Amino acid sequence: MRTKKGVVTSTKMDKTVVVSVHSYKNDTKYKKRFRVTSKFYAHDEANSCNEWDIVTIKETRPTSKLKRWEVIEKN
């Protein structure tokens, strides 16, 4: 299973957090590195995460329309 590490950006939903994961890509023409941000909806059963927490999420079966990830641990 895939795992990702990111920052919690929203906790407004019940048992759901939005996690922003940063990665870097290279521009093919100018050879410059730039940062790309992806948002993932993750299941948080205990509602224990707060905004700006660093968490690790893992891929699971779809829980709802948008949720395909689950919070493993808070770092």
Q: What is the pLDDT of residues 7-22, one digit of tens each?
A: 999 999 999 999 999 9
Q: What is the pLDDT of residues 23-64, one digit of tens each?
A: 999 999 999 999 999 999 999 999 999 999 999 999 999 999
Which tokens in the block code for residue 44? 């948080």
Inter-CA distances, 33 with 17, 28, 38, 58, Å: 29, 10, 16, 27
How wide is the angle at C-alpha 69 spanned by C-alphas 41 and 48, nearest 5°?
Answer: 70
Task: Determine the residue type at 2.
Answer: R
Q: Tell if the pTM clears 0.85, that is, is over it.
A: yes
Q: Where are the domains of the chain?
A: 3-74
For residue 75, is pLDDT > 90? no
Cα within 13 Å of Cα(72), Cβ side? 12
> Given this structure, which CATH class describes domain 3-74?
mainly beta
